Every structure is written in C-alpha cells, then in structure tokens.
Amino acid sequence: MNSITNDTAVTGSPAAPAPHVTRTPLWRNPQYRAWFTADTASGVGLAMKGFAISLIAFSLTHSLPAAGWLATASVIAAQVADVFGGTLVDRHHRKRLIILNAVCGTVLWGVVFVLLATGLLTFPVFAVIIVTASTINGLFGGATNAMLRSIIPTADYPKAQSLNQGRDSVIGLAGSPLGGMLYAFGAWAPFAAASLMYAVAGVSAGMLRVDEHVRDAIGRNGERGNANATTDATVSARGSFVDDFVAGWRWTLRRRTLMAICTIAALLNFGINGIFAAVQLQMVGSGVDSVRIGFVSTAVGTGLLVGAVIAARVCDRMEVGTGLVVMSLVALATMVPMLVSHAYPVILVSSLLCGLPIPTINSLVMGFVFAKVPTDMQGRVDSFTNLLGMLPTMFCSAIAGSLLPTIGFRMTVTLFLLALAANVAIVLAMPTLRTIPSADRWDEAEL
C-alpha cells in the first residue's frame, strides 16, 4: 500500500489542517441508525434461513454429502460473485444496491416459504434458489459495509465494529435457536421470517440520506483528485469495469501485510468453520433435534457477546499484532477438546470459548484495513480479501460431509485442527504481523 500518513489522505478532504470538530456519537447519527437497522435485519434474515438450509437439504435427499455440497455450492457462488461485486459496489450507488439485494432476498426466500408450505419444494428447485440467492448476495451484499465509510469518520470505526460484533453475537445467540424452534413449528417458518427481515432491511436502507458523490473526488486508484471537479468529469475519467476490476486486484496484491492477513484469515476460517460444519452435519446425521443443534450457535454467540464487551474496552489501545497472536493460540486451544470427545457438553463449551477472542481481533484487523484503504476502493478490496480469506472455507461443508461417513468425526476434526496449528506457526514466524501497532499508531504502519 502507498503510505497513508493521515486521515485526510484517506478521505479525500483538503490537506490543510482542519479545525477541531466534535464528533456526533454513533447512536445520535440518524444515518448510522438507519444503516445499523438495515444491516441488522439482513443479519437476522441470514441467521433464520442459514440454519435451516442443511436440514431442508438432508430432509429432501437423506444424504449428508448432498447437504454438505449444497452448502459448499452456495458459498462458492457467493464468493465468486463477490469478486465482481466489489467493483460493482465501487462504481454504483451503494444505497440502491442495498435495496436491490433486500428485494431479491424478500422474493427468493418468500418463494421457498410458499413451496415448502404447499409441499411442492424439490431438491433441484431448492438448490437453484439457494445458489441464485447466494450469487445475488455476493454481487450486492458488500454495499452495506462499503457504505459505512460514507456515514461515519474513520476514528469511529473500531467502536462501530465492536458494536457490530455485539449485534452479531446477539443474532448468534437468538438466531439459530429461534430458527430451530421455527423449523420445529414448520419447515417453512424460518424462510418466511427471512423474507420478512429482508423486507425490513430494504425499507431501512430507503431511509438513508447519504451523498455518495463524495467518492467521486477520489481517483480510481485511491488517490485524491480535485475535490471541486464535477461528477460528470470524474465519471468520464473512470475506466471501464475491467480497468477498475484489474486496478483493485493490482492494488490489493501489492500490499504485503494485507496478503499476510489474508493468509492467516484463510487458515483460521478453514479450521474453525470446518470443525463447526463437521459438528452440525454429525448432529444432523445422528438425528439430533433442531433445537439442540441450534444451541451450538447459541454457545458461539454467547462467547461472541462476551468477547464484544471485551473488544469495546480494549480495541482502541490493544496492538493488532498482539491480538493476532492471542486469537491464533486461543482458537487452537479451544478446539482441541473436540478431538478427544464429541459429546454435546464438550461441543457447547468449546463453541463458547472459541467465540471469546473473535470480536477483538475482528475489530482490530478490520479497523486497521478500513483505515488504510481509500474510500473508493472499499468495495473492491473488501471483496478481494474476502475471496482470499474464504477460499479454502468454501469447501468446508463438502469436505466435512464427505469425510464423516468414511473416516469419522475425530479424524475429520483433526484435519481442520492442522490448519489452525499451521496458522499459529505462521503468525509466530512473521514479525510483519506481530508488530502491527494499536489504532493510535496506524499511520506509522504499512498495509
């Protein structure tokens, strides 16, 4: 990354010193409240239908591999679409994309609800809808996070991220158990709830009043341009979709620290998500009831909620490198008990402990990247880093579903634990990662 030494270089404001401005608290910012409501509704909708997908797939096919591969296909579709979605997000009005994504979610999950309620749903139709919805979300879903940069100042992002982590923890606590209870009431119920939540997200996004033309003052490669230039002139100076797409990849791949962060994210995501995919599919295949399966996510959510409280207190002053080391060690240590036993209490305790450090490290790492990436590059960098960080994770459900019937739960978990062990070795061996400073010294660090 080209060195960015102050916030004015990131936001495109004039280089001259600006007078002190008292920032409005996040909750008093009506635009942030509307954004938060839209993002929360989408998250609840995701939790509602996400829990039921494997259960529906298994009920339609009675096959763990089929259930696992459907989950994998949806992740692959979302990640591939997200690669191009980041460029779309940077080239178009993000508010409109948020609303479009919400409308599509409302319609698609509404269709699943109707087909399930009438007994007309088949596995091929279900698979097509799942993959289609994942593709649409991959194309437009990144607009929500990218738009946050136009709503709050960079200095507020670590705090906003800790709030988001707490919100996500509450969704994790309530979402999956509620989804399990809804599923027990009727297989169609979680999808009806998801459709409703996406509708709420669309209405909330419609209340946003953000002037996104501020992004036009920034050049295509993240450099500040003439803030007084007209929108038409800026748009005409932009390259084609392909030019912007390539520019985003070039910018991202040239940042060594960012690439190292993507590597450890890939290993952490693969290890943790792989273990939880194995846990869920093992329970589904063993006939465990949906409510008990949902409480595994509740345990994770409890850990995340407690972790979010911790993050809110330490994210402003903890060094990012320290957080990375702690997260890597804790992730490995908390998952090891599942190697010894897959008893339900062991799974619950490990799930709870695993969630504790995640909000802090997410706030630190995402805040660091957010602060160092120019405003008009947020969509592309987010999509590209998501792809790199999630690439192995795309196959977690398929791997778990294929290995469980052949080598059993313990050996399947061992495979994913090896990824977590490799991550620990990399983090400890790379001073570039271990020396990323705290937020007040991010201007000294290179991305």
Instruction: Inform me whether the pLDDT recorded for 173 exceeds 70.
Output: no
Domain ranges (residues) in the chain: 29-444
Task: Enter the tokens of residue 273.
Answer: 């998500």
- For the chain, what percent of residues have pLDDT higher than 90? 15
The string of pLDDT tens digits covering residues 298-326 is: 788 788 888 878 877 777 778 888 888 88
pLDDT at residue 218, as a whole number:
38
Instruction: Inform me whether the pLDDT recorded for 3 exceeds 70.
Output: no
The mean pLDDT of the chain is: 79
pLDDT higher at 30 or 227: 30
Tell me how far CA of residue 317 lies from CA of 8, 303, 320, in angstroms: 22, 21, 9
218 - beta bridge partners? Answer: 224
Under 8 Å between Cβ of 251 and 218: no
Residues 166-180 have a mean pLDDT of 71
pLDDT higher at 162 or 18: 162
The label of the residue with tokens 């608290």 reads: 25
Under 8 Å between Cβ of 391 and 75: no
Tell me how far CA of residue 416 lies from CA of 72, 199, 276, 302, 429, in angstroms: 16, 37, 10, 23, 21
The string of pLDDT tens digits covering residues 261-297 is: 889 889 988 998 899 888 888 888 887 777 788 788 7
- For the chain, what percent of residues have pLDDT higher than 70? 84
Under 8 Å between Cβ of 424 and 330: no
- How far apart CA 350 and CA 335 sit, in angstroms, is 6
Instruction: Inform me whether the pLDDT recorded for 395 exceeds 80.
Output: yes
The DSSP letter of residue 340 is H
pLDDT band at 124 (very low <50, low <70, confident <90, very high): very high
The DSSP letter of residue 220 is T
- How far apart CA 254 and CA 62 sit, in angstroms, is 47
pLDDT band at 176 (very low <50, low <70, confident <90, very high): low
pLDDT at residue 158, as a whole number:
67
Under 8 Å between Cβ of 302 and 352: yes
Instruction: Inform me whether the pLDDT recorded for 7 exceeds 80.
Output: no
- How far apart CA 422 and CA 419 sit, in angstroms, is 5
CA atoms within 13 A on the CB side of 268: 27
- How far apart CA 398 and CA 153 sit, in angstroms, is 41
Question: 29-444: what fold?
Answer: Growth Hormone; Chain: A; (1.20.1250)
Instruction: Inform me whether the pLDDT recorded for 236 exceeds 60.
Output: no
